[in-house]
Amino acid sequence: MPIITLTSDWGTKDPVAAIIKGIILSNIPNAVIVDISHEIASFDYMQAHYVLKAAFPFYPKNTIHLVGLENNNNKESPNPVAIKFMDQYFIGNDIGIFSLMFGDITEDIVEIDVSVLENRMFLVGEVLVKAAIHLARGGQLEDLGTKKDKLTKSLLPLPRFESNSITGNVIYIDKFENLITNISKELFEKVGQGRKFNIIPKSPRNNFRRFAKAYYDINEAELFAYFNTEDLLEIAMSLANAASLLGVKVNDNVRIEFDDSSNR
């Protein structure tokens, strides 16, 4: 049974997701359709990249990932693409999502020509779903368009570090208002070298130093951190919403200061 996942900013109030599922099932009745998320903020390809990148490695070979997200900032939006990466397929608009996920790949990219499409508002239903159905039936990637040797480039902010500090950014806020940062466990250990530290989300008044392995280890409304399944530093608050209470938004700074006098 072919697996097709959906990631979009459509929400669940309107019928768009249901329509797309209906088209798929009408053509492939035994398809397994998985909603990765339809709650991506409108046009937010940074958020879409984080959610899909976190999820797709857990899916089996030949899974098809359909991304329903448009570019609201560029009237000359590039043609959508179909990509094969790590034995899975990805279909969507080439607006920066895939370069964030895969880096500078140059192979197994096909550009899907949509110049004959009279109304781009119907791009997903008229073009992208058909591409997913083609692949689900065993069709070849090359049949979907012309080969392309690079993706539209987009870059995530990288954390800055010195001998005694790391300054990163919040890249995603989840349903529980936990703060996911771009500070990796590898970088934390490289700079920290076992020293004591303070984690400072946005403002010095929010500083804390607690790591925890479970919420029940923490007092209510106490800040703590842990490294998530992507090995990125995540900041949470027990039985409370960290983002709202700290006034932190996506792209805000998170700083870690290491004590140079502590034992290494």
In tens, the pLDDT along 240-250 reads: 899 999 999 99
Is 3-147's fold the same as 160-258's?
A: no
Mean pLDDT to the nearest integer, 80-101 = 95
Mean pLDDT to the nearest integer, 37-52 = 92
> pLDDT class for 264, splitting at 50, 70, 90?
very low
Alpha helices in 73-176 (DSSP H): 97-102, 123, 129-136
Alpha helices in 43-181 (DSSP H): 45-55, 97-102, 123, 129-136
> pLDDT class for 76, splitting at 50, 70, 90?
low
Strand partners, 102: none
Percentage of the chain beyond pLDDT 90 is 71
- For the chain, the domains span 3-147, 160-258
* pLDDT on residue 115: 75
Instruction: Name the CATH topology of 3-147.
Output: Rossmann fold (3.40.50)
Residue 74 has pLDDT above 60, yes or no: no
DSSP structural state of residue 223: E
Tell how far CA 19 is from the center of its chain: 24
- CATH number for 160-258: choose from 3.90.180.10, 3.30.565.10, 2.70.70.10, 2.40.30.90: 2.40.30.90
Q: Which region among 41-50, 128-137, 213-222 has the lowest average model confidence (pLDDT)? A: 213-222
Alpha helices in 66-184 (DSSP H): 97-102, 123, 129-136
* pLDDT on residue 113: 83
Percentage of the chain beyond pLDDT 70 is 95
Residue 73 has pLDDT above 70, yes or no: no
The mean predicted confidence, pLDDT, of the chain is 91
The reported pTM is: 0.86
* pLDDT on residue 254: 96
Q: Residue 31 and residue 1: Cα distance in Å, rounded?
A: 6
> pLDDT class for 78, splitting at 50, 70, 90?
confident
Residue 193: CA count within 13 A, CB half-sphere: 11
145: left (phi over 0), alpha (psi -120 to 50) or beta: left
Which residue in the block uniquely carries the two structure tokens 């999502």? 97
